[in-house]
Structure 1
Amino acid sequence: MSSRLARTSALTAAAVCGSALLVVTAVTASGNTAEEPRLHDIQGNTRISPFAGKEVSDVPGVVTAVRGFGKARGFWLQDPKPDDDPATSEGIFVFTGEETPDVKAGDSIRISGKVSEFYPGGEEAGGQSVTQLTGAKWEAAAKAKKKLPKAFALTARSVPDAYVPDGKGDDGNVESLKLQPRKYALDLYESLEGMRAGIKDAPVTGPTTEFGELWVTADPDEHPTPRGGTLYGDYDQQNGARMKVSSLLPREENPFPKANVGDALSGATAGPVDYDNFGGYGIRATSMGELKDNKLKREKTRKAGKDELSVATYNVENLSPESEPAKFDRLAEALVDNLASPDVVALEEVQDNSGPKDDGTVAADKTMEKLTAAITKAGGPSYESRSIDPENNADGGQPGGNIRVAFLFNPDRVEFADRKGGDATTPVKVTDDGGSPKLSANPGRIAPEEEAWKESRKPLAGEFTFKGRQVFVVANHFSSKGGDQPMEGRNQPPVRESEKQRTAQAKLVNSFAGKVESIDKKASVIALGDFNDFPFSPSLDAMRKGGVFTSPMDELPAGERYGYVFNGNSQVLDHAVTSPGTGRVKYDIVHINAEFHDQASDHDPSVIRIKP
């Protein structure tokens, strides 16, 4: 990996991409031609290199960082003599595969290799590409060591408020558009691809993950939440000041900080700008700010009054007997202490008795028994549970896990009238029992034979009685966002194909509630759970259509409407919608998981309190 490609003296000059420098064509010893651009010429002023697929040679630069681990090893190179075009990056990643490169930060080299565009996650995933050099060879320049180029300062002023322009063509592809880094945030980051950039005193908006990464913001005033996050409040509120941070520092001497939302990285965090398929642009840190712990506290809701019915939803994230005992304990403590022992709980992602083992097991009685025992041990009520086993591997989720929704309820506070007939494939019907709605099966599944529920969890309807009043509760876990184009991808606006299935699912739940309300317009119907979608989405619009449901979450201050943190954006996936006959609803999202690096689940639970 040391000798530069041999060249003859046959050279041809040609101007490229508006650069003030000349690009030289060289004939190699093997007879192939290679051009001699600078790094800004290679990057060009769009997202795709004008040299993609071509050999280049004798390109100067300074090594700024080395990735010497994993299967995607290599290093970042930056030209210390930039051009005057802000749209052209001065950096690039040199891919060496599984071979650790023999360079160090500060090495001044001249390099030759092939320019390529690499799409992390595959081109079909819709993400952007990374311009890189492959099959590279290099040699040291006259001066072996140089000072690293100054990191571009990411600040509220330098990062544009607008996120990205709309693309061209039917798919909205932005790759051919000239970058406008002073106008759009994603254009700015693309113009910095491979270059050093940094954030000073960076507020944390996404907690440390198990993969050793976190999210910060360059603009703490961009749609802030009261607890230090950044709120995702609409499709055009992408919050472009967010930036992912991972580390290139040796983990033994520099353990990655365990940060929560609301913490900060004091001092400078800097390194080359990279792009991956798990959140888009990020800083591969070669210097990391010191963690400032701002002591974020887990919330507790109040206990329901004597005449109040409390109903909660909690995604317990693939819970099974195979889960760690500590997870059961933490879930139980949260239900008892943080959620004040709700009268009814809709659970999502309850796995079967063998967990992820794909052995044909579908029953989940052991999972529920282990959870209810943990709750009793934590000082909670002696909950009973109800669920319907799905058909094997028919409801999506982790293969073999057979996740389903389930009810917990406190028999000292509510009554549950069990009726025969509920199974995986039989749809529950709403009958007229002398002017009162009645479920044909309790619990029962809503329209499980409909195409909308293919490879997705079927909603579970339950009929409860609280102080002599019927209350219908529907536990939901709609289909995932898998297959949607990424927010930070090359197609803008991104196509959210998965919305179609969730919208169809919402229509079916809306129809079920409409049948209940057609018999008793004052009926209390609560549909809650993990809807896998936003308050402003088509699926939630379909859920509320015709006034069948309303969203009591709307009564919360806007900055408090979140219970999930994804890529540094605080957002809503879990909902509780109620019928007009339910009356006044008090809504509380209890922040105990999503903002914290140590989580019992990646979702925060929600609780509503009503007086039926």
Structure 2
Amino acid sequence: MPSIPRSAAVAAVVAAALAAGLLAGSSSAAADGENDGPAVRVHDIQGTTRTSPLVGQQVADVEGIVIGVRTYGSSRGFWMQDPQPDADPATSEGLFVYTGSTPAVATGDAVEVSGTVGEYVPGGLGSGNQSITQISKPAVTVVSSGNALPAPVTITGRSVPSAYAPEGDPAAGNSINALPLRPRSYALDYYESLEGSNVRIGSSRIVGATDPYSELWVTVKPWENPTERGGTRYGSYASQNSGRLQIQSLTPTSQQPFPKANVGDVLSGTTEGPLDFSQYGGYTLTARTLGTVQDRGLERERTRRERRGELSVATYNVENLDPSDPQEKFDALAAAVVENLATPDIVALEEIQDNTGTKNDGVVAADETVRRFTDAIVAAGGPAYDFRSVDPEDNEDGGQPGGNIRQVFLFNPERVSFTDRPGGSATAATGVVREYGRAALTLSPGRVDPANAAWESSRKPLAGEFVFRGRTVFVVANHFGSKGGDESLTSHHQPPTRSSEAKRLQQAQTVNTFVKDILKAQRNANVVVLGDINDFEFSETTKALTDGGALYPAIKSLPRAERYSYVYQGNSQVLDQILISPSIDDFSYDSVHINAEFAEQNSDHDPQVLRFRP
């Protein structure tokens, strides 16, 4: 996984912090290069807050036992721990030593380290991430080898507090950096008090599947908001789930493959190593000793077929599908539509790329991409889906440059007809009129308010009119702005800054206004708004979509333990949604879990299916 070189980041954070007065200097002899005073120990460097009281200073002959060595990546170095701890639970006894190249030490070495104390921020200062206290530009002396390691602290469900983090200091921009650590009160303080130290966990349930970067997530609190399939559900901004912990390995994958695990599997036995803080996962156990994965046999779900008189509508983010993808991906996605989704009557697809994929050549048409997908569905035993979409302007809808992702309607013409109203284009807005006492779209397919600033560099909603058994159904397919740029739950700002919400809120308001226009023209119109909303069922985005009772988030009809479509950092959460107008009051809903919980994925999203009688 890419990361910023520590040397540059250290210099930047030290300079910025000292300039801002956030990290006070010291008048100790070490600052003047004199080392004849009391010896500095690791806990003196770590201090009782998230940042070192000695940041920017030179320290000499700091003693410790090497508890882990990282020999790969851009953050090469080692962790050392003082075997003579102080009595303060807030001060960590472990510390990372950044060498920049393969360290000439081994686990069990007793070392003396001299160098510069710094605070490295994974991802850079703008990420909002907490910093790692470390020594850089080190001079390392190996005093002896083969020493016993300091006994690990065992992280358990009982040792991790339920409260996640303190409120940030308003005077410091809601930062918790300067607050005294209270490891018995807050989970983030507890983990911070162990930064760089030797820790271990016992057998723990896996709540985030192995990812392409050889990481997985476990929970030490199996009772904490469990899903029915073994995950941990993120059901509110106050349900961060403090038992979650990321697991990496100190052994390069070239020497020992990282195990593949799904949600609900168990990492059994002992997993032990230094506690690090990573750019993409926060507190991370970097394992010297990695437990064994016990496969609990998680299976991909299959939804039922629609019953007589029911219309089935689905949404599926197919993750940047384009003709350059291997046939295996098309076949797997098609098989999911046929076997797991039971061939819905209407499928709204997100992230369909143009016919040349990410080749930035001005091509915007996606008919070859879609046709290859529909052909794969037929080959898998499904119906011959027809499709409708509107090509975007080149590079105006976000996503991968050149890819021109968009939403596409698939529909089974043997069960559903599409009402074509010509004129739809990338810039033409569809409207709502009243015809023969009923609502109708001026353009079908058409885009919803594409000139609105809410859709700048983002996918515009695709609206269409369908007819099922003589009844009109309006469907609006969406792919709202991503959460890119939001701070993580482990941010030093508490609560974390969620900057991306502002755009999604505007997008939701635009779609809500469009739905209200339909309902104004026909109060009992059947309207389905669906897609990758990129936000939670409890979010302000969803509240804006449902404003005035125009829509209802159908996923709320499920038991809480089943409400999720995506797994991020061990939290099972809702990003994909189907929302319905008030006339759709008798329906069944299914979040079909076939991707998000698995190490082997065809997409990182789970599709959603709604069935109702118009």
Q: TM-score, normalised by structure 1?
A: 0.94
Among 455, 460, 463, which residue is 1:461 paired with? 463
Trace 1:364-375 onto structure 2 (pairs within 5 A).
364-375=366-377
Displacement after TM superposition at 1:30 (Å): 8.0
Residue 33 of structure 1 contacts residue 55 of structure 1 at CA under 8 Å; is this kept in 2?
no
Query: Retained in 2: the 8 A contact 1:35–1:55?
Result: no
8 Å Cα contact 1:34/1:57 also seen in 2: no
Deviations 1:414-457 (A, max 9, x none): 01011211000111010111211111111000000000001110
Give the residue type in structure 1 aligned to 2:219.
Answer: T
Q: For residue 598 of structure 1, report the CA deviation from its aligned partner.
A: 0.2
Amino acid at match of 2:445: P
The 8 Å contact of residues 249 and 287 in structure 1, kept in 2 or not, is answered as: no
Distance across 1 between alignment mates of 2:106 and 2:592: 48
Per-residue CA distance 1:500-549 (angstroms, 9 max, x = gap): 11111111111111111111111000000000000110010010110100
Moved over 2 A (4+): 23-36, 250-254
Judged with a 3 Å threshold, the aligned counterparts in structure 2 of structure 1 residues 552 and 31 are, in CA distance, closer, same or farther, namely: closer
Cα-to-partner distance string for 1:75-104 (whole Å, 9 max, x where unaligned):
00000111010100000111011x111100
Distance 1:259 1:150 in 2: 28
TM alignment of 1:432-443, pairs within 5 A = 432-443=434-445
Q: How does 1:16-35 map to 2 (within 5 A)?
A: none
Secondary structure in structure 2 of the residue aligned to 1:281:
strand
Distance 1:54 1:583 in 2: 66
Distance 1:392 1:198 in 2: 51
2:479 to 472, 477, 480: 477
Aligned to 1:56: 59
SS in 2 for 1:158: coil
User: What is aligned with 2:43?
Assistant: 40
Q: Establish whether residue 168 from structure 1 lines up as the match of residue 157 from structure 2.
A: no
- Tell me how far apart the structure 1 counterparts of residues 54 and 323 of structure 2 sit (CA, whole Å): 55
Report what 1:149 is aligned to: 150
Q: Which amino acid aligns with 1:571?
A: Q
> How big is each residue's C-alpha offset from its partner over 1:375-395, in whole Å with a ceiling of 9 and x where there is no partner?
000000000111111111111
The aligned counterpart of 2:184 is: 182
Equivalents in 2 of 1:393, 1:385: separation in Å? 22
1:48-88 Cα deviation digits (max 9, x unpaired): 00010000001110000100112211000000111010100
The residue that corresponds to 1:75 in the other structure is: 78
Q: Give the SS at the match of 1:36.
A: coil
Q: Deviations over 1:466-490 (max 9, x none)?
A: 0000000000000011121221100
Map of 1:123 onto structure 2: 125
Structure 1 residues 28 and 225: CA distance shift in structure 2, 3 A? closer
Structure 1: tracts of 5 or more residues without a match: 1-22
Instruction: Give 3-state SS (helix, strand or coil) of 2:382's partner.
Output: coil
| 3-state secondary structure, aligned to 1:223 | coil
Give the Cα separation in 2 of the matches to 1:576 and 1:249. 43
Evaluate the alpha carbon distance shift between residue 427 and residue 93 of structure 1 in structure 2; reply closer, same or farther with a 3 A threshold: same
Q: Give the distance between the partners of 2:527 and 2:476, measured in 1 at CA.
A: 8
Correspondence for 1:588 among 566, 590, 598: 590
Is the alpha carbon distance of 1:137 and 1:609 closer, same or farther for their aligned partners in structure 2, counting shifts above 3 Å?
same
Following the alignment from structure 1 to structure 2, what is the Cα–Cα distance between the partners of residues 213 and 55? 35
Aligned partner of 1:428 in structure 2 is 430
Cα distance, 1:582 vs structure 2: 2.1
Within 5 Å, which residues of 2 pair with 1:82-481? Answer: 82-97=85-100, 99-141=101-143, 143-169=144-170, 171-481=173-483
Q: 1:424–1:445: 8 Å Cα contact kept in structure 2?
A: yes
Instruction: Please report the TM-score for the alignment, with normalisation by the length of structure 2.
Output: 0.94
User: d(CA) in 2 for partners of 1:25 and 1:144?
Assistant: 32
Partner letter of residue 159 of structure 1?
V
- Rounded Cα–Cα distance in structure 2 between residues aligned with 1:567 and 1:33: 46
- Relative to structure 1, is the Cα distance of residues 29 and 223 closer, same or farther in structure 2, using a 3 angstrom cutoff? closer
Match of 1:12 in 2: none
Per mean C-alpha deviation after superposition, the further-off stretch among 343-352 and 577-586 is: 577-586
Alpha-carbon shift at residue 25 of structure 1 (Å): 6.0
Alignment partners' CA distance in 2, 1:398 and 1:417: 32
Classify the secondary structure of the residue corresponding to 1:581: coil
1:167 counterpart letter in structure 2: G
Cα contact 2:554–2:577 (8 A) shared by 1? no
Contact 1:24 1:36 in 2 (8 A): no
Provide the identity percentage: 52
Indicate if the aligned counterparts of 2:354 and 2:403 stay in contact, CA closer than 8 A: yes
Whether the 8 Å CA contact 1:346–1:406 is kept in 2: the answer is yes
Whichever residue aligns with residue 81 of structure 2, its letter is Q
Match of 1:333, SS state, is helix
Change in CA separation of 1:139 and 1:25 when aligned onto 2, cut-off 3 Å: farther
Is the CA contact (8 Å cut-off) linking 2:35 and 2:60 kept in structure 1? no
1:190 CA drift (Å): 0.6
Report the equivalent of 1:606: 608
| Residue number in structure 1 paired with 2:12 | none
Structure 1 residues 26 and 510, CA gap change in structure 2 (3 angstroms) = closer
Distance 2:500 2:142 in 1: 51
Aligned residues: 588
Structure 2: distance between partners of 1:599 and 1:136: 43
- Residue aligned with 1:580, SS: coil
Structure 1 residues 193-202 or 250-259, which shifts more?
250-259
Separation (CA, whole Å) in 2 of partners of 1:26 and 1:455: 55
> Which residue of structure 2 aligns with residue 578 of structure 1?
580
Take 2:452 and 2:38, find their aligned partners in 1: how far apart are those partners?
A: 59
Contact 1:26 1:35 in 2 (8 A): no
In the alignment, is the contact (CA less than 8 A) between 1:24 and 1:37 conserved in 2?
A: no
Query: Contact 1:34/1:55 (CA < 8 Å) preserved in 2?
Result: no
With over 3 angstroms needed to count, the CA separation of the structure-2 counterparts of 1:246 and 1:27, relative to structure 1, is closer
Aligned letter for 1:87? A
Indicate conservation of the 8 Å contact 1:65/1:105, yes or no: yes
Distance 1:144 1:26 in 2: 31
Distance apart, 1:253 and its partner CA: 4.7
The CA RMSD over aligned residues, in Å, is 1.6
Cα distance in 2 between the residues matched to 1:179 and 1:74: 26
Contact 1:257/1:291 (CA < 8 Å) preserved in 2?
Answer: yes
Q: Which has the higher strand share?
A: 1
